[in-house]
Amino acid sequence: RVRCGRSLDGYPFNPCLTEAQYKEMEEKVSSTLSGLAGELKGTFYPLTGMSKEVQQKLIDDHFLFKEGDRFLQAANACRFWPTGRGIFHNDAKTFLV
């Protein structure tokens, strides 16, 4: 398993993002990922509107941060939650963003 976290070029680090920037980034990332093919082809799931059952399954699988994580809150990384957040995974759940 390889995990990494990055900011996007042209955007500040998470604690400094505006709500509009979160939305812009979500659109850019989801549209880029929707163009993947082959074994990387998958689906983007925005957190906004995600059912609690799906959200809990992704948390239990360690694919998604738990809402209210004290470390994210201490870093001011929960602003405008869940706006602009989501998860992408391929069908096999071996490639996640």
> What are the extents of the domains in the chain?
17-90
Structure tokens at 95: 């490639």
- How is domain 17-90 classified at the CATH fold level? Creatine Kinase; Chain A, domain 2 (3.30.590)
**pLDDT tens-digit readout, 20-71:** 999 999 999 999 999 999 999 999 999 999 999 998 988 898 888 777 778 8
Is 62 known as a binding-site position? Answer: yes
pTM over 0.85: no
Q: How many Cα atoms occupy the beta-carbon half-sphere of 28 within 13 Å?
A: 11
Look at the alpha carbons of 66, 74, 89, 28 in this order and tell me if their dihedral is positive or negative: positive
Q: In whole angstroms, what is the distance from residue 32 CA to residue 26 CA?
A: 10
Closest by Cα among 47, 53, 28, 37 to 87: 47
Identify each DSSP E strand in 1-97 by its residue range: 42-46, 86-90
Q: Please give the pLDDT value at position 73.
A: 87
Of 40-49, 69-78, 81-90, which range is least confident?
Answer: 69-78
